[in-house]
Amino acid sequence: MNIPKIVLFICVLCLFGLGWEKVYAQSSSLDDFVMPVVVDEKVPQTYIEKMLMRLEEFEKDLRLKEKYLIVEDHLAQLGQRYVDFQKMVGIEIHGSLQNQTALQIYQPNRANKIANQFYLSGAGVVSPSIKYFVSGRFKYDSVYANSDHYSDSVESDQKAELELRDTYVDYSTGDWDFRLGKQQVVWGEAVGLFYADVVNARDLREYILPDFEFIRIPEWGLSSEYTKNDFHSQLVVLPGVEFDKTGLATSNFAFPLPLPDSPTLLALQDPKEPKYGFDNSKIGARFSYLFNGLDLGAFYLRSWTSLPVMYRTINAGVYNFNPDYQRQNIFGMTFSKEINDYVCKGEAVYYPDAYFSVIDPTDLDGVKQSGYVDYLLGVDHTYFDRWDVNVQLTQRWIMDYDKTFWRQEELTNGFSIRLSRPWLNRKFTTEILAIANLSTPDFLYRPKVVYNAASNLQITLGADIFSGDSTGSFGYFRNQSRWYSEATYKF
């Protein structure tokens, strides 16, 4: 990265950090320029008509009255009208505007994200037992329109997106709660990782870097929950089957294919996705019980492989891939317990019939099956009432391990730590999340500084740094390490 580009990038980030100040104009001189907003009984009362008032009339009125014009008063009036409107229609509307700009750390130092996102949600109450929630977002990333680095297919896939997010109706009666619609079902509590969080498909086109709320893909279906004293159960039926989204070839976070290290010719078919319907539904149940402060949970999910199984044949030296989704059973358990202000928690997930790609060219379809277990142990604690610390240990054990499994070890060990601390009455917050795959080894570092410029405006400066062995899940994306700035305005 050359110095002029660094200076330019820092200047851009500094501009994002400027705080909002009160907007006002004062007529101390007849030549002063003042915002064209006036309060006058003769002026039409709608906001649009006021803003369209002729400048000559404004200047004439200002010269006669010579008094302060406070824009905040007008904005406060508009805000109150907005609140009154929500009460009148019986719906509470919220949303956010967000810009995220990212610049690659390594050569070439090009921008790999200039995304603007508009998120809008509405919630309302039909009766004491019936509520509803609707949400959606529009996202546009101009980096794909202003660069020839990406293929047309990648630009079409990631430049613009309009989607319906969580949209459902809640019904409560006695000890029962029902949710019907497009929803997220969260069974895990791991920080920065997916373990027991197995229900919803994921959008991995930016790997695991976005907020988990937007990584999870809401799915259509029914969730019913029963709560009685310390017992809780949940049943989910999701016929609107979704699958993980991954980056296409030439995108920033395209996953590798199970190929030998030497250059190889290949042909890749589109995966065959099962159709929506009850026959193909995801069906699962979770049960938990609170016993003397120990929260124990167990679950089962009849699902699909989240990523397609990479079946392949080799003809005349050409690797032909025919990806296909397969049914999959998932069993799991969770626990959490607070001990002397330390919150201890764990998750274990068992896949009895998983599919692994192999690098053995004599294997007919390039796939073998084996059961495996993923588990995690973690602890949360706040030190000196300021430092929030989370530490997690992870491991994967492949039960019927074969040395031909592509990029897999029989035991894979991992570690993560997150440190967070607020400063200056929570005006600033510093945080670092580090995730390590100790078997490869490879790493992901995520330092950031969050500035609360106002109650509804947040500025973030940070980095996503991949390092380590290129055969690891993090080290493979080393060249995608990036600096980023993020500005979020909520309303």
Digit-coded pLDDT (tens) for 151-175: 999 999 999 999 999 999 999 999 9
Task: Taking residues 451-472, report their average pLDDT.
Answer: 96
pLDDT interval class at 261 (50, 70, 90): confident
pLDDT interval class at 64 (50, 70, 90): low
Which pLDDT score is estimated for 77? 67
Task: Taking residues 332-341, report their average pLDDT.
Answer: 96
Instruction: Give the lowest-confidence range in 89-98, 227-236, 278-287.
Output: 89-98
Query: Residue 368's closest CA among 310, 317, 314, 315?
Result: 310
Which pLDDT score is estimated for 48? 46
Which pLDDT score is estimated for 384? 93
Tens digit of each residue's pLDDT (9 = 90 or more) over 100-122:
999 999 988 899 999 999 999 99
Residue 43 has pLDDT above 60, yes or no: no
Instruction: Give the lowest-confidence range in 145-149, 211-215, 308-312, 352-356.
Output: 145-149
Mean pLDDT estimate for the chain:
87
Q: What is the CA radius of gyration of the chain?
A: 27
- 310, 330 Cβ separation under 8 angstroms: no
- 186, 215 Cβ separation under 8 angstroms: no
Which residue is associated with the tokens 């706040």?
Answer: 382
Which residue is associated with the tokens 């509590």?
Answer: 189
The percent of residues in the chain predicted with pLDDT above 70, rounded, is 82
Comparison of pLDDT for 72 and 184, the residue scoring more: 184
Distance CA 190, CA 417 (A): 11
pLDDT interval class at 91 (50, 70, 90): confident
Residue 342 has pLDDT above 70, yes or no: yes
Which pLDDT score is estimated for 78? 64
Token pair belonging to 473: 């899940």
Instruction: Give the lowest-confidence range in 71-85, 230-244, 294-308, 383-397.
Output: 71-85
Which pLDDT score is estimated for 20? 35
Hey, where are the domains in the chain? Answer: 1-89, 90-490
Task: Taking residues 46-62, report their average pLDDT.
Answer: 52
Residue 6 has pLDDT above 50, yes or no: no
Architecture of domain 90-490: Beta Barrel (2.40)
Residue 142 has pLDDT above 90, yes or no: yes
- Report long-range pairs for 185-190 (Cβ below 8 Å, ≥24 apart): 185/223, 185/234, 185/236, 185/238, 185/284, 186/216, 187/286, 187/297, 187/299, 187/332, 187/334, 188/334, 188/347, 189/334, 189/336, 189/345, 189/347, 190/347, 190/376, 190/378, 190/392
Which residue is associated with the tokens 């991954």?
Answer: 246
Instruction: Give the lowest-confidence range in 18-27, 441-450, 479-488.
Output: 18-27
pLDDT interval class at 55 (50, 70, 90): low
pLDDT interval class at 240 (50, 70, 90): confident
Which pLDDT score is estimated for 148? 83
Comparison of pLDDT for 232 and 50, the residue scoring more: 232
Task: Taking residues 131-156, report their average pLDDT.
Answer: 93
Q: What are phi and psi of 212, to 5 degrees?
A: -60, -25
Comparison of pLDDT for 8 and 392, the residue scoring more: 392
Which pLDDT score is estimated for 187? 94
Which pLDDT score is estimated for 300? 98
Task: Taking residues 22-43, report their average pLDDT.
Answer: 40
Which residue is associated with the tokens 């690797």?
Answer: 319
Task: Taking residues 230-247, report their average pLDDT.
Answer: 95
Which pLDDT score is estimated for 7? 40
Cα dihedral across residues 49, 51, 54, 59: positive or negative: positive
DSSP H helices, 26-116, are: 47-51, 55-65, 71-89
